[in-house]
């Protein structure tokens, strides 16, 4: 399966065509190991994937949450959203974050606080 970034014309298509249809399966995540549009108080994540599926979700330092994925419009500059992604990773004790506009993908690792 290949991905063509020109097929994404808006944020919804970045979510459905890149993240759901291409990226999550390529990374080995099955539908039962990720959630879309998940909220933690004032934080709303586009996607949250788990190293292992654990219910109920508990936010702590040994959290099973492994990757936050944020989708943006294809014309968005990703630099404008890094502060928010950093807050998500730090507040929820999540190690990895991914942000994409369909044309560019950036992966970040939280190191300490």
pLDDT per residue over 70-82, tens digit each? 999 999 999 999 9
pLDDT in the model for residue 52: 54
8-37 burial: b if 16+ Cβ within 10 Å, else e:
beebeebbebbbbeebbeeeebeeebbbee
> Residue 81: how many CB atoms within 10 A of its CB?
15
Pairing of strands 65-71, 96-100: parallel
Give tens-digit pLDDT for 12-56: 999 999 999 999 999 888 898 899 999 988 999 999 998 654 555
Strands ordered across the beta sheet of 43-50: 34-40, 43-50, 65-71, 96-100, 105-109
Helix ranges, 1-113 (H): 11-13, 24-26, 82-92
Reported as half-sphere exposure (CB side, CA atoms, 13 A), residue 78 has a value of 18
- Domains of the chain as residue ranges with CATH: 5-109 (3.90.1570.20)
pLDDT band at 65 (very low <50, low <70, confident <90, very high): low
Closest alpha carbon to 66 in 105, 109, 36, 102: 109
pTM for this entry: 0.83
């Amino acid at each position: 399966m290949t991905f063509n970034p020109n097929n994404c014309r808006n944020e919804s298509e970045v979510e459905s065509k890149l993240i759901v249809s291409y990226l999550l399966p390529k990374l080995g995540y099955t539908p039962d190991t990720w959630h879309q549009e998940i909220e933690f108080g004032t934080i709303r994540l586009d996607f949250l994937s788990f190293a292992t599926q654990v219910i109920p979700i508990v936010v702590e330092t040994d959290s099973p949450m492994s990757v936050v994925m944020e989708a943006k419009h294809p014309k968005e500059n990703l630099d404008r959203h890094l502060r928010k992604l950093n807050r998500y990773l730090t507040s929820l004790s999540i190690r990895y974050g991914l942000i994409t506009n369909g044309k560019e993908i950036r992966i970040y690792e939280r190191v300490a606080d």
